[in-house]
Amino acid sequence: MSNAAYRFATVSGQNFHWFLKRNCSVTPAQLGWMYASLCTVSLGIGALFWWQGAKMVMPFAWLELLAVGAAFLAYARHATDGERIVLQGTSLVVERETAGRLERTEFRREWVRVEPKVGDRSLIELSAQGRSMEVGRFVRPELRPALASEIRMALRAT
């Protein structure tokens, strides 16, 4: 099977791997350093004004840093979210990580159905033997039909 026929998959021999990840501009480690520098600057300025007699600046600086810290924490929890689909031999393995929680479903290749959940721009539902898993969260909606076609093509390949 030609590797050029697959836009989303990595093909090695008869094995197909799809790694669908969130597009993150900042890693959790970079975010931690940015937050630490923000705390240093904000508390430094707050301490300077507190020393000048503006006593209410520090409580608001702490409140601001707590709010920003909570937002950064929510972002960092989901920064590594992703979906991994592996077609190897007679099995299709789908793993989805959301906020550090991993869900894994394994299907027999010959029983898998690939279809949109509701419409053409919806998530892709992989189902077989009474189990199902939705994939495609990290692919633009207009590209999901192409991903579904690619998975179908790989399932039919021998």
- Residues 6 or more apart whose CB falls under 8 angstroms from that of 113 comprise 125, 126, 127, 128
Q: What is the mean pLDDT of residues 109-125?
A: 85
Tokens 């007699």 identify what position? Answer: 53
Q: What is the mean pLDDT of residues 6-29?
A: 88
For residue 29, what are its two tokens?
A: 């480690």
- Say if CB 107 and CB 126 are below 8 A apart: yes
Q: What is the CA radius of gyration of the chain?
A: 23
Q: What is the mean pLDDT of residues 131-152?
A: 92
Residue 157 CB coordination number (10 Å): 13
Residue 2 — pLDDT band, cuts 50, 70, 90?
low
Q: What is the mean pLDDT of residues 53-74?
A: 95
Does the pLDDT at position 103 exceed 90? Answer: yes
H or E stretch covering 18: strand 15-21
Does the pLDDT at position 12 exceed 90? Answer: no
Q: What is the mean pLDDT of residues 129-137?
A: 93
Rounded CA gap, 117 and 141, in Å?
12
In this predicted structure, what is the pLDDT of residue 120? Answer: 66
Rounded CA gap, 142 and 139, in Å?
8
For residue 138, what are its two tokens?
A: 């990290």
Residue 4 — pLDDT band, cuts 50, 70, 90?
low
> pTM of this prediction?
0.75
In this predicted structure, what is the pLDDT of residue 24? Answer: 82
User: Who has greater pLDDT, 78 or 96?
Assistant: 96
Residue 65 — pLDDT band, cuts 50, 70, 90?
very high
Q: What percent of the chain has pLDDT over 70?
A: 95
